[in-house]
Amino acid sequence: MIPRLALIGLGLIGSSIAHAAKRGNLVGEIVGYARSPETRATALELGFIDRACDTAADAARDADLVILCTPVGTIEAITREIAPALKQGAIVSDVGSVKASVIAQALPHIPKGVHLVPAHPIAGTEKSGPTSGFATLFDNRWCILTPIPGGDPDAVKKVEDFWRALGSNVDTMTPEHHDRVLAVTSHIPHLIAYTICGTASELETVTGSEVIKYSAAGFRDFTRIAASDPIMWRDVFLHNKDATLEVLGRLTEDIFALQRAIRKGDGEMLHDQFTRTRAIRRGIVEAGQDTDADNFGRYKGKKD
Amino acid sequence: MIPRLALIGLGLIGSSIAHAAKRGNLVGEIVGYARSPETRATALELGFIDRACDTAADAARDADLVILCTPVGTIEAITREIAPALKQGAIVSDVGSVKASVIAQALPHIPKGVHLVPAHPIAGTEKSGPTSGFATLFDNRWCILTPIPGGDPDAVKKVEDFWRALGSNVDTMTPEHHDRVLAVTSHIPHLIAYTICGTASELETVTGSEVIKYSAAGFRDFTRIAASDPIMWRDVFLHNKDATLEVLGRLTEDIFALQRAIRKGDGEMLHDQFTRTRAIRRGIVEAGQDTDADNFGRYKGKKD
């Protein structure tokens, strides 16, 4: 039980943490801050926070656990702002999709006696804002902790317990490894999805309405993650430059290999490439990280 | 009402046509052929065909409408084989994802008095085989016809009526335009999905089990269409070479532009790119071609 939880940022992740914490009765009080007064009002109205503050520092004051749920580009400024308000023994955590940069931004501002425990829940939807959160978002997903070397093990344990109580499984790794893993499983897929949507909308020979009408042939799958929050994703790429560029380099190399196979009419190479991917899909379904229902379950209840 | 429908190929699309035709009571008899005896036995057992034949020619004999539902690389051989068995006035259609090549393969073998009406239903799932079909697959999806210049308008009308009765909307365009449109909305998305899965599984620094565990961060979305039938997709790229290479060239150009923006830390450019894609997603949802539910409805019923 955490007596006072402060959420800085009340979007999809912040609001989902609040819903899940209330579902599990994990906290005494939830204090929230969001830059926009409308977001704060909505959060109060929906009841997932108990109290709203006009500044991040006020929200963080006397909190036992402060979770930063804002784009990773804001971490330095927010940590600097809330630092003087943090009480001794408080834990500061976050949910950022990039970890080395978050640590570099936050750690210099964390006061002595306060513990920084970086975290990243691997869960989300394509929606944003305070109305988009829900209590089951983290159920059976993974949350990755990247503890600070020499940091307080009790603080890490508290954050780990909190995420398990929110419904997550918890793993621990270095921030550098996290950033490389997420470049593969998240950042590059988002970048490619955004790019394909952009390319499709700019072709001269195929109209936008054609792209939309015939999108069920595959394209529509990419548009979901490409509808994600643009500021959050801008910050991810600005703050995980090296790992994303490395994975992107590998991907373009592989694209060129397939491009050459198409040009040369190398059916065997294409078939080989297209065959080995089914095992990954099967692994993801077996690990409970995706549904096996046709089309992600879009046809749910319609299949006869 | 079509007295006798012959389906050559009894996989996802062939079996779905049969289910939808029976749902709408659109045909007198459905005769089926598949290369594998197991597939034919399954089709009879499931009851979506009334009679199975040991050869494509036997299935096509005396049929009023013959629909080829096999990979586009097989069209020439099958058309040549069934040609002598086709009755006068019969219509031969197909469901191939590529149209110019299908016409080039089939047309020389179509006998005088028989009508070729190429078609492509824009619908599917990631599953394959005779057990994967269902009656509602084509509901509210589009079917594109690419009529042969100088062909019989009555035959085109019959195929159009048939697809509407199966639940589809119907559009008509030239085969060349079809192949360009589908390169954008289907072929390149599949190629990229296959490639990302391949790249992810071959990295030295991130393990396969990490890719699977943390796939909910975006990657898993790509694995669905990358689980599609490898032979069907090999044939698509071998038979729509020019259009796919053209769109792929545009896409890699755009990837390089974003790569440079990341390298230079150009947040404004990234933000601009990531912002304009939401309109496409909205358009697809509004056109009824995708669900607006979070995560494609994976959380259906779980959201509180």
CA B169 to chain A, closest CA, distance in angstroms equals 10
Helix (H, G, I), strand (E, B) or coil at A33: strand
Residue of A nearest to B237 (CA): A262
CA B107 to chain A, closest CA, distance in angstroms equals 23
Of B189, B196, B276, the CB nearest to A219: B189
Structure tokens at A39: 């977001």
Give the pLDDT of residue B300.
52
CA distance B235 to B221: 23
CA distance B303 to B10: 38
Q: Tokens 């078609």 belong to which residue?
A: B119
Of B117, B109, B112, B100, the C-alpha closest to B151 is: B117
Helix (H, G, I), strand (E, B) or coil at A292: coil
Distances (CA, A) of A162 to A17, A54, A83, A156, B302: 10, 26, 22, 10, 21
Phi, psi angles (nearest 5°) of residue A57? -65, -45
Asked if pLDDT for residue A303 goes beyond 70, the answer is no
What residues 209-268 of chain B have any CB closer than 8 A to a CB of chain A?
209-228, 230-231, 233-235, 237-238, 241, 244-245, 247-248, 250-252, 254-256, 258-259, 261-263, 265, 267
Of B124, B228, B262, the CB nearest to A244: B262
Of B190, B274, B290, the CB nearest to A233: B274
Give the pLDDT of residue B304.
39
| pLDDT tens for each residue of chain B, 304 residues long | 899 999 999 999 999 999 999 999 999 999 999 999 999 999 999 999 999 999 999 999 999 999 999 999 999 999 999 999 999 999 999 999 999 999 999 999 999 999 999 999 999 999 999 999 999 999 999 999 999 999 999 999 999 999 999 999 999 999 999 999 999 999 999 999 999 999 999 998 999 999 999 998 899 999 999 999 999 999 999 999 999 999 999 999 999 999 999 999 999 999 999 998 888 999 999 999 998 888 888 765 454 3
Cβ <8 Å between A211 and B123: no
Residue of A nearest to B169 (CA): A213
ipTM entry: 0.93
Q: How far is CA A165 from the centre of its chain?
A: 18
What residues 106-135 of chain A have any CB closer than 8 A to a CB of chain B?
122-127, 132, 134-135
Residue of B nearest to A240 (CA): B262
Averaged pLDDT for residues A32-60: 98
**pLDDT tens digits for B121-132?**
999 999 999 999
Interface test with B, best of A234, A248, A275, A300 (most B CBs within 10 A): A234
Cβ <8 Å between B211 and A300: no
CA distance B20 to B15: 9
Q: Tokens 């690389």 belong to which residue?
A: B73
Of B113, B99, B239, the C-alpha closest to B171 is: B99
DSSP letter (8 states) at residue B70: S
Residue pair B144/B120 in contact (Cβ under 8 Å)? The answer is: yes
CA distance B251 to B245: 10
Give the pLDDT of residue A74.
98
Of A193, A218, A304, the CB nearest to B19: A304
Residue pair A250/B203 in contact (Cβ under 8 Å)? The answer is: yes
Of A201, A271, A300, the CB nearest to B300: A300
Residue pair A276/B230 in contact (Cβ under 8 Å)? The answer is: no
Q: List the domains of chain B with CATH numbers.
A: 2-173 (3.40.50.720), 177-265 (1.10.3660.10)
CA A266 to chain B, closest CA, distance in angstroms equals 8
Give the pLDDT of residue A248.
97
Averaged pLDDT for residues A138-146: 96
Q: Any CB–CB contact under 8 A between B204 and chain A?
A: no
Size of interface A-B (CB pairs under 8 A): 391
CA distance B194 to B226: 5
Cβ <8 Å between B226 and A277: yes
Interface test with B, best of A220, A251, A253 (most B CBs within 10 A): A220
CA distance A104 to B247: 40
Q: Any CB–CB contact under 8 A between A172 and chain B?
A: no
Q: Tokens 């990419």 belong to which residue?
A: A222
Radius of gyration of chain A (CA): 21
Segments of B118-264 assigned E as strands: 119-122, 142-145, 169-172
What residues 3-42 of chain B have any CB closer than 8 A to a CB of chain A?
19, 23
Q: Any CB–CB contact under 8 A between B58 and chain A?
A: no
Mean pLDDT, all residues of chain A: 95
The pTM of the full predicted model, rounded to 2 decimals, is 0.93
Residue of B nearest to A122 (CA): B217
Distances (CA, A) of B128 to A86, A279, B13, B197, B296: 57, 15, 9, 19, 21
CA A34 to chain B, closest CA, distance in angstroms equals 21
A179 residue type, one letter? D
A172 residue type, one letter? T
Of A214, A238, A282, the CB nearest to B181: A214
Residue pair A114/A129 in contact (Cβ under 8 Å)? The answer is: no
Give the pLDDT of residue B299.
63
Give the pLDDT of residue A197.
94
Of A193, A289, A295, the CB nearest to B125: A295
Give the pLDDT of residue B303.
47
Structure tokens at A118: 């970086």
CA distance A69 to A262: 44
Of A135, A141, A291, the CB nearest to B304: A135
Structure tokens at A192: 């490619």
Asked if pLDDT for residue A168 goes beyond 80, the answer is yes
The sign of the torsion formed by the CA atoms of A27, A29, A34, A40 equals positive
Percent of chain A with pLDDT strictly greater than 70: 98
Residue pair A191/A248 in contact (Cβ under 8 Å)? The answer is: yes
Q: Residues with Cβ < 8 Å from A272, sequence gap 6 or more?
A: none
Cβ <8 Å between A224 and B281: yes
Helix (H, G, I), strand (E, B) or coil at B10: coil
CA distance B294 to B200: 25
Q: Any CB–CB contact under 8 A between A278 and chain B?
A: yes
Cβ <8 Å between B212 and A280: yes
Phi, psi angles (nearest 5°) of residue A51? -150, 140
Phi, psi angles (nearest 5°) of residue A202? -115, 0
DSSP letter (8 states) at residue A55: S
Give the pLDDT of residue A300.
52
**pLDDT tens digits for A239-251?**
999 999 999 999 9
Q: Tokens 């210099």 belong to which residue?
A: A108
